[in-house]
């Protein structure tokens, strides 16, 4: 009985964590969907963008779906452990097993198709630079998205300041965005931007991911371990229900 009570407690804790994680992802998804001035908002303004990239603008809805799903899974596991329902415990095990297999398959696909992803990002860079030259300083929504992104990441353009050459903003004012000039430069013209050599937003984002790679890997491993532990505990409880 003591062991069974411990397993029920562990099952409740595991699924409580899953439920809270799902609720957090759901909240982020709602925030991203409501706030259209997000980091990926500029994808909607890129001409001739691949359909796969255009779909990234709907990431908020994906997060809402994932968060809702995880919250329901956590709720199902908690109820199954408390009520000692074999049906709920078995359903929980199958769902978590499917999620685990999908995660492993996604990791393998990302590793195998990494060169393809790099090529896709290079093509994206050319399209984004063209979109900046056509719309920055003319489209208020597009300009606002890029200003927010550059201020947040402390970067300049997708590649560098040359992305803004010929844009309506530069053609009108002969100036570049303030983030393209580092230091205390108040007049950010082409010479100042060239001397500042501000990093592009793509490289800034890559650096941010690399700096947090250990943390991201730790979170991924922790989630995998949590899923495996939850499956083991759910099966043990499933076999011992009624005994």
Distance separating alpha carbons of residues 21 and 102, to the nearest angstrom: 18
- My answer on whether 139 and 45 are in the same domain is no
- My answer on whether 84 and 8 are in the same domain is yes
Under a CB-based contact definition with an 8 Å cutoff, are residues 89 and 80 in contact? Answer: yes
Distance separating alpha carbons of residues 88 and 73, to the nearest angstrom: 10
- My answer on whether 47 and 62 are in the same domain is yes
Q: What is the pLDDT of residues 131-178, one digit of tens each?
A: 888 889 888 888 888 888 888 888 898 888 899 998 999 888 888 988
On whether residue 231 sits in a domain, the answer given is yes
On whether residue 213 sits in a domain, the answer given is no
- My answer on whether 127 and 93 are in the same domain is no
Residue ranges making up the domain that contains 38: 2-114+223-240
DSSP labels for 6-33?
HHHHHHHHHHHHHHHHHHHHHHHHHHHH
Under a CB-based contact definition with an 8 Å cutoff, are residues 133 and 23 in contact? Answer: no
Q: What is the pLDDT of residue 40?
A: 52
Tokens of 218: 């730790």
Total number of domains in the chain:
2
On whether residue 209 sits in a domain, the answer given is no
Distance separating alpha carbons of residues 176 and 125, to the nearest angstrom: 19
- My answer on whether 91 and 24 are in the same domain is yes
On whether residue 30 sits in a domain, the answer given is yes
Q: What is the pLDDT of residue 220?
A: 76
- My answer on whether 9 and 99 are in the same domain is yes
- My answer on whether 110 and 8 are in the same domain is yes
On whether residue 81 sits in a domain, the answer given is yes
Average pLDDT in the chain: 77
- My answer on whether 135 and 107 are in the same domain is no
Q: What is the pLDDT of residue 57?
A: 53
Under a CB-based contact definition with an 8 Å cutoff, are residues 234 and 76 in contact? Answer: no
Residue 222: φ, ψ to 5°: -60, -40
Which 8-state DSSP code applies to residue 214? H
Q: What predicted TM-score, i.e. pTM, was given to this entire model?
A: 0.55
On whether residue 216 sits in a domain, the answer given is no
On whether residue 214 sits in a domain, the answer given is no
Distance separating alpha carbons of residues 194 and 94, to the nearest angstrom: 57
Continuous segment of H or E residues that includes residue 236: helix 213-240
* CATH code, domain carrying 130: 1.10.1450.10
On whether residue 212 sits in a domain, the answer given is no
- My answer on whether 120 and 106 are in the same domain is no
Flag residues of the chain having pLDDT under 70.
1-4, 32-60, 110, 114-118, 120-122, 242-243
């Amino acid at each position: 009985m003591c062991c069974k009570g411990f397993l029920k407690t562990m099952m409740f804790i595991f699924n409580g964590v899953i439920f809270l994680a799902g609720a957090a992802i759901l909240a982020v998804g709602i925030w991203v969907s409501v706030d259209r001035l997000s980091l990926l908002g500029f994808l909607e303004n890129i001409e001739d963008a691949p359909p796969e990239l255009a779909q990234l603008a709907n990431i908020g809805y994906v997060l809402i779906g994932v968060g809702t799903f995880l919250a329901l899974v956590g709720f199902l596991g908690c109820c199954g452990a408390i009520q000692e329902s074999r049906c709920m415990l078995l359903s929980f095990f199958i769902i978590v097993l499917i999620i685990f297999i999908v995660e492993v398959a996604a990791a393998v696909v990302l590793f195998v198709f990494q060169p393809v992803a790099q090529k896709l990002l290079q093509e994206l860079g050319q399209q984004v630079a063209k979109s900046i030259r056509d719309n920055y300083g003319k489209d208020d929504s597009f300009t606002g998205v890029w200003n927010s992104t550059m201020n947040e990441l402390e970067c300049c353009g997708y590649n560098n300041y040359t992305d803004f050459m010929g844009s309506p903003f530069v053609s009108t004012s002969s100036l570049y965005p303030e983030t393209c000039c580092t230091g205390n430069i108040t007049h950010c013209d082409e010479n100042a931007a060239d001397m500042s050599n501000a990093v592009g937003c793509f490289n800034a984002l890559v650096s941010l991911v690399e700096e947090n790679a250990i943390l991201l890997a730790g979170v991924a491993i922790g989630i995998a371990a949590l899923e495996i532990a939850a499956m083991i505990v759910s099966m043990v409880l499933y076999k011992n229900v009624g005994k």
